[in-house]
Homo-oligomer: A and B are copies of this chain.
Amino acid sequence: MKKEFIDPWGSELPADYQKLIKSFGLERFKLEDFPKPNKIMRRGVVFAGRGLDIITKAIKEKKKFYCLTGMMPSSDKIHLGNKLVIDNVKYFQDMGAETYVLIADLEAAATRGVSIEEARKRAMDYFIPAYIALGLNPGKTKFYFQSQNKSVVALAFELSNKATLNEYRAIYGQPTPSRIMGSVLQVADILYPQLKEEIPGVIPVGIDQDPHIRLARDIAKRAKDKRNFFLPSSIYHKYTPALDGSLKMSKSTGNFIELPDTDENIKTKIMKALTGGRKTLEEQKRLGGQPEKDMVYELFKQHLIESDKEFEKRWQDNKAGKLTSKEDKEYAVELMIKFMHDFKKKFEKAKKTKIQFLEE
């Protein structure tokens, strides 16, 4: 996937994403349907969905709906890219969604060799406080461990006969027993809130997760003989580009910002980010920058600048050659360090929050 960023609002969707919408049969995200949209919605980072009408209807009519996400309690930290999911979950939580966050400990045991005990520790020490620090309201969020939720497990076994091995092959290439089990369980997670109450739900994910959403929707459809499930809705954000402009974030190249990251790391990583800057200062002034190709502008857009006005002004100033890449980077470093200090403070506070876990 080539990355293109045409304008600060992403209102012209890059050709690759248009193709994706067409070939996956997605719905184009309609900003006007969402009250008080968050900045990644306003700026075209959120670009598509499935079955969103039922969710926007519920928001407008103040009817019940749910929003669900999960965390994989492995030894990796989350990074800024994961934050986009939380931004959307927080959006729906603020719009009144019953919010579920599952800790995928059984999946981690199956696919990452993480023991249930390690997973619990990682979730308690890091993932749950991090999710809260990113904006989830702990008092309004139903957290559960897969391993402690008998209803989810039973639903997974029940639904396991609703998809064929070939369908898993289509998702995974070579499906392994662990991946199949993890995947079936994921579908059960997505549908589980509907066991308690027949309400629609929305799953915010990166576009790369769409195959899982499709599977969940297919299985929900095929379970109609016994279960009256709403097909789960979904909302997609674009791939998060790595700081060097490559598609894949990687530990070895350090091209992404972890949560938390040190001031020093932040500085090093941002200062070597790929920009749309010209070769010389003279050229930059004459031709202007190319913020649509600039990873620092991606940081501004997705994470660092809340005000649309400020963001647009900066974009235009860069385009007009009034800002150098160095200035942009220094500003990004400043904002990111501020963000990170704030994150750390919230993280430490969240660690002391008592969580009431769902158990069934």
A157 surroundings in chain B (CB, below 8 A) = 106-107, 109-110, 147, 178, 181-182, 185
B178 close to A160 (CB less than 8 A)? yes
Task: Kindly provide the distance from the CB of A248 to the nearest chain B CB, expressed in whole angstroms.
Answer: 24
Q: Is there a chain B Cβ closer than 8 Å to A259's Cβ?
A: no
Q: Is there a chain B Cβ closer than 8 Å to A15's Cβ?
A: no
What total of chain A residues lie within 8 Å of the partner, measured CB to CB?
34
B160 close to A181 (CB less than 8 A)? yes
Interface window among A21-29, A161-169, A228-236: A161-169
Q: Is there a chain B Cβ closer than 8 Å to A175's Cβ?
A: yes
B164 close to A177 (CB less than 8 A)? yes
| Interface of A (DSSP majority class) | helix
Cα separation A68 to B58 with both chains bound (whole Å): 51
Residue contacts A-B, CB under 8 angstroms, 27 given: A105-B154, A106-B157, A110-B161, A111-B161, A113-B161, A115-B158, A115-B226, A116-B158, A147-B150, A148-B150, A150-B150, A153-B153, A156-B181, A157-B178, A157-B181, A157-B185, A160-B177, A160-B181, A161-B177, A161-B178, A163-B177, A164-B176, A165-B176, A168-B177, A177-B184, A180-B180, A181-B184
